[in-house]
């Protein structure tokens, strides 16, 4: 029986979620919901969660005067609730401070060590806590990381290293064999190019830190937060217990900022212990807000909860999925959201549902005969758009059908048929319209789950004029 397992990045808890974090999570949610429709609920696993063993967590907790664990408990709650309120249907919300994760991380590192891939060495270099990564001197501006606008620190440590360079050939071979492994192709080429230039071994522990998961063979070191974080994808499916195999390999949805970790370091770690790399890595672009980079200092980090209170969670979902083709960079603005809310949702979908339910009540005692109106071609266009991650196109197809139904009403003027006593013609038109709306609602569920349910409820007989789905 076919199964589908999908993950999102696990997010740093040094702040609350913004619209960019929601976007990656939403892509994974649409896929999870789509495959549940197709394969059955039990055949799908969808995980998201929080990355808590970071130095950023410790700093943020200090600022709030809380100990790190209390602080992460609070923040993880906020992230989880935000996602729930936006209709994110995760099966598991994983936190890297959980015991099950510590077990998985330590088990995997023991296996990597058994493969002879971990050795002790010396490292020094510029470290940016914002990135949680070493940086090249050439990447700094006046000693500062330009992205996080903070001074890089010179770290000089005895560390443990992972023999990443050993996997250069295996990785290139894997890329050649799996040309669709990273989507979109531009990201695939970027990753391949990077490996071709040669890989260096990476330091995977920190001696100077206490907050994190201890390295089993030398507990005076904690494991580097990125190595720890990547392993969440195995923890969520039950690793180190063998039951992880029923879900692995998973599909990872990530942003373009973290491809090297997911497409190079992570598969190499898995190759080291003889576990198959992820099934596919889907990389979303980044978006700006009103043309500007999302940043705390600019105060433009739009919170999904606030938007959803104003427009409803489905309108936010619709906008993000329709406006930004998957894989491309995009721009978010509330004005554009408002425009689509009025034209596509209120005047398009909302208007159609209220017209059709109103006419069924007035002209047909709220009754109609159910049938399938989706043609096989229509369905296959829709499915291939989703399965090839063209979510904007899938929505575009649905809206073509909605617009066609709205036009049909204008052209056929059912109210005249009623006046002229053309009962048969009227009934068959109303049946057709009701079924078109219901069939679209079924296809819409992965994208707009609340709306899909409301439409299905509005068509329970006897049908009455529906309340507006998208009030102006």
The residue (of 229 and 395) whose beta carbon lies closer to ligand ME8 is 229
The nearest distance, CB 446 to ligand ME8, in angstroms, is 19
The nearest distance, CB 380 to ligand ME8, in angstroms, is 30
The nearest distance, CB 463 to ligand ME8, in angstroms, is 41
CA distance to 378, 389, 391, 397, per residue, from 384 (Å): 10, 8, 10, 12
The nearest distance, CB 7 to ligand ME8, in angstroms, is 8
The residue (of 20 and 350) whose beta carbon lies closer to ligand ME8 is 20
The nearest distance, CB 14 to ligand ME8, in angstroms, is 8
The residue (of 254 and 417) whose beta carbon lies closer to ligand ME8 is 254
The residue (of 294 and 418) whose beta carbon lies closer to ligand ME8 is 294
The nearest distance, CB 73 to ligand ME8, in angstroms, is 17
List residues near ligand ME8 by CB under 6 A. Answer: 9-12, 20-21, 23-24, 51, 229-230, 232, 254-255, 257-258, 284, 286-287, 294
The residue (of 64 and 122) whose beta carbon lies closer to ligand ME8 is 64
The residue (of 134 and 286) whose beta carbon lies closer to ligand ME8 is 286
The nearest distance, CB 141 to ligand ME8, in angstroms, is 21
The residue (of 30 and 469) whose beta carbon lies closer to ligand ME8 is 30
């Amino acid at each position: 029986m076919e199964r589908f397992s999908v993950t999102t990045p696990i997010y740093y808890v040094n702040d609350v979620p913004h619209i960019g974090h929601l976007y990656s999570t939403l892509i994974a949610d649409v896929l999870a919901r789509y495959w549940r429709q197709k394969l059955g609920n039990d055949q799908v696993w969808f995980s998201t969660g929080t990355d808590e063993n970071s130095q950023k967590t410790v700093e943020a907790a200090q600022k709030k005067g809380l100990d790190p664990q209390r602080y992460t408990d609070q923040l993880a709650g906020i992230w989880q609730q935000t996602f729930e309120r936006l209709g994110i249907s995760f099966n598991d919300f994983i936190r890297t401070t959980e015991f099950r994760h510590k077990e998985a991380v330590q088990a995997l590192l023991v296996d990597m060590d058994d493969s002879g891939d971990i050795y002790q060495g010396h490292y020094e270099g510029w470290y940016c806590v914002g990135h949680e990564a070493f940086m090249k001197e050439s990447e700094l501006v006046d000693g500062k990381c330009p992205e996080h606008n903070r001074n890089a620190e010179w770290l000089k440590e005895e560390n443990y290293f992972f023999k990443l360079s050993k996997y250069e050939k295996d990785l290139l071979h894997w890329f050649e064999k799996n040309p669709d492994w990273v989507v979109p192709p531009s990201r695939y080429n970027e990753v391949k190019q990077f490996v071709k230039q040669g890989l260096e071994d990476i330091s995977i522990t920190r001696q100077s830190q206490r907050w994190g998961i201890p390295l089993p063979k030398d507990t005076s070191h904690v494991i580097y937060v990125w190595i720890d974080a990547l392993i969440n994808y195995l923890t969520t499916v039950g690793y180190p217990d063998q039951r992880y195999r029923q879900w692995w390999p998973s599909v990872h949805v990530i942003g373009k900022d973290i491809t090297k970790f997911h497409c190079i370091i992570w598969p190499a770690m898995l190759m080291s212990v003889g576990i198959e790399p992820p099934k596919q890595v889907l990389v979303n672009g980044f978006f700006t807000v009103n043309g500007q980079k999302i940043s705390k200092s600019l105060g433009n980090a739009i919170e999904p909860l606030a938007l959803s209170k104003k427009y409803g969670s489905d309108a936010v979902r619709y906008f993000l999925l329709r406006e930004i083709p998957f894989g491309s960079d995009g721009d978010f603005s509330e004005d554009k959201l408002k425009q689509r809310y009025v034209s596509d949702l209120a005047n398009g979908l909302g208007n159609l549902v209220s017209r059709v339910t109103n006419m069924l009540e007035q002209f047909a005692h709220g009754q109609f005969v159910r049938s399938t109106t989706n043609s096989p071609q229509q369905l296959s266009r829709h499915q291939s758009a989703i399965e090839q991650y063209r979510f904007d196109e899938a929505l575009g197809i649905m809206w073509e059908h909605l617009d066609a139904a709205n036009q049909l009403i204008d052209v056929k003027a059912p109210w005249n048929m009623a006046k002229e006593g053309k009962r048969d013609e009227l009934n068959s038109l109303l049946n057709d319209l009701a079924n078109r709306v219901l069939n679209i609602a079924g296809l819409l569920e992965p994208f707009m789950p609340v709306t899909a349910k409301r439409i299905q409820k509005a068509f329970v007989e006897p049908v009455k004029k529906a309340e507006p789905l998208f009030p102006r």
